[in-house]
Amino acid sequence: MVRRKQSAGVSEKVYKMNSELEQTGPPIMTKSEIAKLSESLQVTLPQSYREFLSRARPEEIDDTSLLGDPDIIIEATNDYRRGFVGLPPWPNEYIYLGDEADACPYVLDCITGIVRQLQKGNIDAAPIKTWSSFENFVAFYSANFRQVVPAKEQKKRTVLYWGLIVGFVLFWFVVLPLAIYGLSKLF
């Protein structure tokens, strides 16, 4: 697990959120990518979101639900701000975080820090879910949406499933036909 000392000005809650999640690999975004995101969208990103992006991606959170590519975030946010596919335009303080590949995006309000899951991206419709802060969103998401299966366990399961599939195919398409053929020759 990657752990960093708490830096000055970072709330205890943000530090705790980031340090308790299992993290491996490089940061989600570099400092220059985070700055590009903020400047391109003309928003001040909440501290908790900046902290999250500056750390390694937790295993509990995939890169579809919370994107890590600033160019994609910028493009999607700008599309929604322009009224993507006839939807009401998003206010400038909203940024696109990602979605579940269901066109119901997670949106961060950079003024209030509230995260919402919008119904098909429509800001006029009641949100599917609302979190009071980015930290609460990450905590909820980590606890409820992803059950991480360790790589070693996943490999064992994959080998087992493939073994069952191969055994099933061999039985139905080799053993059983040979048995039927053999029985037909006896009678």
In CATH, which of 3.30.750.200, 3.40.1580.10, 3.30.470.10, 3.10.450.50 is domain 12-144?
3.40.1580.10
- Average pLDDT over every residue of 6-11: 38
SS3 44: coil
What is the spatial distance between Cα 13 and Cα 74, in angstroms, rounded to a whole number?
Answer: 27
Neighbours of 86 (CB within 10 A): 6
Residue 123: per-residue pLDDT: 94
What are the residues whose beta carbons fall under 8 Å from the beta carbon of 130, sequence distance 6 or more? 114, 115, 116, 117
Size (the chain), residues: 187
pLDDT at 116: 97
In the predicted model, what is the mean pLDDT of residues 86-107?
A: 94
Q: Give the residue among 7, 54, 16, 38 at the shortest CA–CA distance from 133.
A: 16
The pLDDT tens digits of the residues spanning 62-83 come to 888 889 999 999 999 999 999 9
pTM score, whole prediction = 0.66
Tell me what the mean pLDDT of segment 8-32 comes to: 59
| Residue 114 or 172, more confident | 114
pLDDT score recorded for residue 35: 96
**DSSP category for residue 90:** P
DSSP state of 174: I
